Copies of this chain bind each other. A is one copy, B any other.
């Protein structure tokens, strides 16, 4: 079975300033492509260390992917390290230089002299196109495939998908790994593990792994077999079993966020939504508009952070705030109703709460959030007590609001 090895280059990865998310992304992608990662190296911005790492990684694997160190500054030394390992010189490529100059020109800027180095790649190597200024590099040496990609995650991911993945897939031939992801919201990791029982055992094939982020639990079904069809069939059978065991906890697949699942369903059902936010301060609207095409279902949002804004913009009666407090089910409901009336949408969400770290009382502690989802003839209001700190409380409140709407939409 062919394997891959990763090299992450950059002092910032070694002094604890940056968590290495590129390596995790590449590992998952390579595994899906049928090439598991056998080893990973994190090294400093030094030509000799980089050259040595290419050698070490090449003894572990057939495909070596380095990230980082392609920037324009003096501590970007990946080009030099790779050239040293290959035993060749760096060459200035005119077509790359033109491209970089055009990149700056299109932004009405002159190319700084420093960026000239980005047009250099080791002799005999191939340049890979980038959305940023730094081209990637692909080289072959003693039957091993070597790649150098930028460290900026957005650039790295796009270059990997467009230029590296097709090559890697060709090398993987035969041995197939199919990964499916089921995305769940509404229960904790241990509840899900209990419902799944022995399916989560190690060394089972397919392997079921579980990761958690922003309250969303992702179940990874990793099926390995000779041939893609067989692996795909195994993954599909497991998906059915997991869906049966988890019911409405499953909201989507792949990389789909909760907001995206809700947005796509709103568009599908030709429904619209408005939001009225207090403690989440724009986060709910931001999540709903993260996806392209959000204008199909999202038109209006209000962030009524002060009481006065709740009254003037959404028509929440000042009396109601005085009687129940700004953080109350009554106010959440009035915010949602006001937003839906003004925006003339099918749904509206009102959120008010105490995100902390101060402002909590015994009756209304930090983490208390009221969420109201208003639709024609129906208004559902929920009281939530969310834990952890401000960031987590805000995110969890927005996600919970989306989840209430999801269940109303029958996703």
Contacts and interface: CB of A to CB of B under 8 A. Distances in A.
B343 A309 contact: yes
B299 A301 contact: no
Interface stretch (A88-96, A277-285, A317-325, A373-381): A277-285
A16 B27 contact: yes
B282 A193 contact: no
B43 A31 contact: no
A115 B189 CA distance: 10
A370 to B, nearest CB: 15
Interface in A361-402: 385, 387-392, 394
Contacts of A20: 19-20, 23-24
Could you tell me the dominant secondary structure of chain A's interface residues?
A: mixed
Interface residues of A, number: 113
A41 interface: yes
Contacts of A194: 112-114
A275 to B, nearest CB: 8
- Tell me the number of copies of this protein: 2
A205 B380 CA distance: 61
Contact of A304 (B6, B106, B300, B309): B300
A389 B282 CA distance: 21
Contact of A73 (B15, B200, B391): B200
A12 B220 contact: yes
A312 B34 CA distance: 54
Contact of A189 (B71, B108, B292): B71
Interface stretch (A162-170, A208-216, A329-337): A208-216
A45 B294 CA distance: 40
9 contacts: A11-B209, A15-B209, A39-B44, A73-B189, A112-B191, A294-B305, A295-B306, A300-B302, A300-B306
Interface of A: 6, 11-21, 23-31, 36-46, 49, 56, 71-75, 106-108, 112-115, 131-132, 152, 154-155, 158, 179, 188-191, 193-194, 200-202, 207, 209-212, 218, 220, 222, 275, 277, 280-286, 288-290, 292-295, 298-306, 308-309, 312-313, 342-343, 355-358, 385, 387-392, 394
